[in-house]
Amino acid sequence: MSESLIEVRELTKVYGADDTEVRALDGVNVDVQRGEFVAIMGHSGSGKSTLMNILGCLDRPTGGEYILDGRDVSRLDKNELASVRNQKIGFVFQSFNLLPRMSALANVSLPMLYNGTEKLSAKDREARAAKALESVGLGNRLHHHPNQLSGGQQQRVAIARALINQPALILADEPTGNLDSKSSVDIMNILHKLHQQGTTIVMVTHETDVAAHAQRVICVKDGKVISDGRDGHSPCLGQAVGGGNETE
């Protein structure tokens, strides 16, 4: 197994054809090592969301290669992609995306239902979900429904859900975009802790102070990587990149 968890080679994504052709990604090359905490920054329309979708195996590239955890996933079919998402990737969304009618425990258990390789009994699933919720500090909120939880608590449930199948990669899409500053700090602290425990995290954001938490910041513009800096030495951090709070 190679050192890189993610190897992206000459990745392109083209929408439309001929005159209306839009190159959302135009030859992107990125490597992410195991255990890295990477932020991807860019304006609306820069292609960072498209990159995120492909890294998350929600979409397939038009051209190029995407090797995740040693496996080329750029040409997989829908079913194979679904199982890669289930096994290798944990998603954290800006709007939490918890199912409103389910308890925190049931929401966290959801990815285990779709786990085809590790079939757990209902009891084991519950125990594991409870443990995951405890690890994000919600051991006393197991049976609360999302509407009984604060935004920060909901996002912590979402993080517990992302971790439940022990994925190789956590993909966080604007994880603090809908949160107040105090909750944002809590969530970033949790992501930090996960990083310290060796989890690989790729986070999309347009907020420089959030991106500053990452070891490494990749800047995307017009479908290309324009900078890739480590330890605070990213040209992106020097200037305001985002435009407001919009999501793509």
Partner 1 sequence: MKLSEIFGTAWEGITLNKVRSFLTTLGVIIGVASVIIMLAVSAGAEAAIAEQINGLGANLIIVAPIRGVPGASRTLLLDDAIAIEKQVVGISGVTAEQLPPPQTVKANNVSLDSIPMIGTTSSFPSVRDYPVALGRYFNNDEDERKSKVVVLGSGLAKDLFGDESPLGQTVTIGTTKFTVMGVMSPKGMVADVDYDGRVYMPISIVIQKYMPTTTLGGDRVRTIYIKAESQEKIPSAIAQITSLMATRHEVPVSKPDFTVQTQQDIIATQEATTAAFRDLLAWVAGVSLVVGGIGIMNIMLVSVTERTREIGLRQALGAKPSDVLLQFLIEAVILSLVGGIVGVLSGVGGSYLFGSLGSMRTAIVPLSIPLAFGAAAAVGIFFGYYPATRAAQLDPIDALRRE
DSSP 24-54: EEEEEEEEEETT-EEEEEE-TTSSHHHHHHH
Least separation in angstroms between CB 86 and partner 1: 2
Tokens of 76: 């997989």
Query: Do residues 202 and 218 make contact, with C-beta atoms less than 8 angstroms apart?
Result: no
User: Where in 183-242 is the site for partner 1 (CB under 8 A)?
Assistant: none
- Does residue 99 belong to the site contacting partner 1 (CB under 8 A)? yes
Least separation in angstroms between CB 232 and partner 1: 32
Q: Which of 6, 25, 48, 53 binds partner 1 (CB under 8 A)?
A: 53
Kindly list the distances between the CA atom of residue 153 and the CA atoms of 47, 93, 107, 142, 246, in Å, as whole numbers in the listed order.
30, 13, 13, 11, 22
Is residue 237 left, alpha or beta, with left meaning phi > 0 and alpha meaning psi from -120 to 50?
A: alpha
Q: 47 or 216, CB closer to partner 1?
A: 47
Q: Which of 13, 48, 85, 195 binds partner 1 (CB under 8 A)?
A: 85
Query: Do residues 63 and 143 make contact, with C-beta atoms less than 8 angstroms apart?
Result: no
Least separation in angstroms between CB 113 and partner 1: 5
Q: Which residues bind partner 1 (CB under 8 A)?
A: 53, 56, 58-59, 78-79, 82-83, 85-87, 91, 93, 97, 99, 101-102, 110-111, 113-116, 119, 161, 165
